[in-house]
Each structure stands twice: as structure tokens, then as C-alpha cells.
Structure 1
């Protein structure tokens, strides 16, 4: 009887044991996933990568491990931790504890950096040294038999641009480019000089074959953001501290006037004592992720010039395209004359000059 009971217990335990072993084999610890990704990334890109923030994602095709990746070479620089320089890697979780092939999209970062390198020299020649570039660039391909273009995650900007220029029916470069200029405009004469620079820059982009699918923002940031005490004052700007104010018919919320006045004067004195080299170093410390409306644009943006080509308008703002078509305004988006370069003013500009 005792022997029979042991046999029954053993038979009951076997399925539990099998389930337990399968469960162990079917799951992976974080280090195993990281090790597989690191090995694959080194093989693919020829350098070591940081693999972090590992998580899972599931859809109809299965479950995937995903992680944020960036090269170890940027550790200790202003690029470290900046999402602009990060990409994603993923690997499918397969049965019996297996992992699929690692897929990564670091080419999305590479092509941005390649495009920046391509444009930087001319951009500085036109606007001066106090510029930062932030962009998004997509190469799209129309495959045989398709009537649409699909985004390809690849790098090699120069070669892709050559393809787009020689065979535009099959290849396309879509460029969203923001030029940040850390130099405020003090008078109408300077404003007109900047208008001409922007017009000339647009003509340059046309000549390079980068205008057809272009969205360009030229953003003038007050250089006082480069002063040593800027962030101390920035911490004093928070929602509960804002007051309602009407500026040229627009209702905006700004810090108290006394704070704005003090901030304007103190930071200006600091800027006046800084060399051009010190200003450029300070500018270089600003992360690309901070070049945004929620970052330094808010309160520090003096003017914005927005340029959008006709074809890019059709791709990214279809309803606006249709509206302008009805209003017979599409011709504006060819930017054939300097009068098409219009300055927009941000009424939340904080400084009292």
C-alpha cells in the first residue's frame, strides 16, 4: 500500500516538475538578454554598446525583449543619457528558453549624425558659430510594384541623397531640420540681415536636393541661457509663480516682472564678461533633448522662422495642404522670394531688454 502511494505521489509530481523546468527554460534573466544583445551589437556596429532599460513587449507575433542602447564611447560626454543619441534593440522570446536574432535600429542615430556632419559647415558659414543642429531624417524607398514609399532604417546619408537626387521616383529623403541660433536679434537691421541669411540657406538646401521634402525651423534663442547663473533663475520659474499678462493682444503666463527684470540684467552682465569661446563651450553642454519647446525654447525663444516645402506639407500636414490649396496659397511654399521668410514671435519670451 505504501509503495503504491509513493508511485501515485511520484506520478503527480512529474507534471509539476516538467512545468517547473519548462518555466525556467522559458524565461530569461536580464543579464542573459543583455549579453546576447551586446554581442550582436558589437558584431553589427564594431563597437561596444550600453544595453539598459530592458523590458518586454507583446503583440500578435509574440513576446519581445526590448532595450535602450547607445555606444559606450559617449559615456562621460554631454551626449550620455541624451535620448537623441539612443536607439532601441529587440530580440524575440522563443519557446524552450531560446532567444531569436537581435534586431537594432542604431542606424536612425547614425544617419542623423551623418546629416549633421554634412550640413554643419555651411550652416556655420551662413549663420555663424553659435548654432546647434537638431534633426530627424528618413530615407524612404518605393519598392517594385508599390505605389507608396516606405521608411527604411539605414545609414549612409551621402549615398542615399545621391540616390534621391538621381532617381526621385524611387528614392526619397525627408528632412526635419531645426537650426538653433544662440544670438538674439536687437533691431530691425539685424532682423533683415537674418532674413536674408535664412533665404540664402533655403536656396542652398534646394541646390543640395534637400528642399523637396523639407521642414525647417530657424529658432533664435536669447544667448543669456548660456550665462552661468541661468539655471539658478530657471528653477524659480514654476506654474504657481506665473502671472497672467496680455502681450500684443495675446494672453500669456509669465514669471513676475521683478524676477524677469533681475534675470535679464544679471544674466546680461555675466554674458558680457564671457569670451566667445566660453559662450560656445556653454552652448555645447546643452543636450539635444533640451532643444525643444518644453526645454530651452519656452521663455527663451525670441523668434521662429518656419519653412515647409510644398511636398512636405502634403506629406505631414495633409489638411493644411488642402486648406491652402482651396485658398490658392500653395505658391508661398516654393520660397522663391525673400518675402516668403516670415518671423514668428513667441509672446512668452521672458527677457526685458
Structure 2
């Protein structure tokens, strides 16, 4: 099998690539993997260093909006796993242009090429943020999309395009929507690596509003395993939710991060809430559990401890990235 992974130098995409080439994802054994990545600020070749010399690995630098390049790269591949997207909410509030270009236009270009080259399956990786906010209960896959921030709106648009390509043009498309990911190699503008790296450097950390916003936390390895399950056995034209099973308020998460790094609440700055900050996300994962047998394996306590230890041991990876993070300073809010 020949797999094209867009955004494969990013946090989640690189985990998928490393795991696939190591044969850790059932069904990926022996796969040839091509990564297409623009290498924007959060794309990092160091994320792929462990597999860079693998004989079944190929890397292409390029933009999913570049139709000519995409057409050349897609040719000869059996499946596409489409991670490539601008993903940071706070940046999308500052300026949404790149989010629309990458997430919507980039997806459209990929879909056109996949159809033209008769790709057997297109897995479109999305987010729970497309639904907006939910006070109680959990969204099922047929819930209406109601995004509240530019990032989520652009992702919702790309989801709808992908599903439209299945319904009107016959492309085998499956969409996944996940909860908040965490783990190693995550760019240090996201809340967990931002807090951990700041705390390791003796800096302060910011907490939005009253800290009551709630998220479900999913280890990146569980996410990639679920994506492979969908790639192997998901039904064409369907949406599958992927969750981690640990819902925490931002205040509860902060408590755990402080404890893991040996810090106290006196290093926390309470900062004004961000615009359009959704209060709570929650996904019902019954469908992927019953159809494909998915269950999260990594306990949050274990995954968080391993993540903190990874950042403690890998300063050479994250220290050069801190200046590129818009949120690396001690008094600037962290997105979730």
C-alpha cells in the first residue's frame, strides 16, 4: 500500500507516519509512506528524523494549494490521509486568511487530485470544534455543525467539501473528528506543551477566564490508531468520532500540570477569556467502538506523565521552537 500523508511533519501527522513505518498500526505493515508538508512554523522535519532514512519513506516539501505539485505527488498512491491544516484557534482569530486557504482550498485541491488519480480512500482528519459548544451530553456524528471561531469554521467547510466529493462524485471519503490531542512532538503554542515548557523554564503560565472550559483529552497514539482503523474498515461517506475518555476543565488540567512540574498556583496568571471561547466539547464514540472496535488505551495520568518527561528530556527539540510560538510568553493566553 502506498499512503500519502499531508501535514505529515506536524504533531499528529508525524506520529501517524512514524507509527505506520514501524508497523505499529495494524494494516500499515510494509506500507510506503509519502509526506507532503509545507513546513510552516509548526511543521518540523525533526518530527520525522526517527524515520527519515527508512527505505519506504519519501518527503516532499509543498503546499496543498499548489494544484500542479499536488497532482504530481498524488499520482501512484492508493490512499490519502489528510492532516494538513492550520489548527491554532488564537491565530485564526487574529487573521483567518491562511486558515481558509489551507483548510478549505487546500482540501479542495487534494480532493480533485484524489478523484483524478482514482485514489481508493481519502481519510479527512477533522476536529470536534466544528460543532460549537455543548452544555451537557455528547455530540453524535449526525449533530449539526455550528462553529464559533474562524479555525473551526474553516474545518467545517473542509469537512463538508470532503463529504460532498463522496456524495456527488463518488470518491471514497471518510471523515474523522477528534477531541483535544496531547503527547510528544506537539508544538509549544498548544496548552499542554506551552505550560510544561514554561514551567520547566521557571516561567509563568496563563489560564483563560475562570478556567471552567472543558475538553476531552486524547493521546496522539490512540488518535492515530483510530485513524488507521477508519482507513482499514470505515464505511465510505461516514463520519467517525475519536475521543480519549478524560474530560477536564482547564483549571483541573492546570492543577495536574503544576503537580507534574513541581510548581504552585502562584505561577498562574488569570487572563481575560478569548473571543468565542467554546465552553465545552464532548464526542460520543459509540459508533467507532461498535463498528471498528476502538477504545482509548492510554490512561491520561500515564500519558501526561510520559509527555512531561519527554519535554523534560528533549529541550533540544522544543527550545528552538519557542520564539516561533505566538504564545510562548508568560503573560499571553494559551489556546485549547
Superposition TM-score, scaled by structure 1 size = 0.27
Give the structure with higher Rg (CA). Answer: 1
Identify the structure with the greater helix proportion. Answer: 1
Identify the structure with the greater strand proportion. Answer: 1
Bigger RCO (CA 8 Å, 6+ sep): 2
Superposition TM-score, scaled by structure 2 size = 0.28
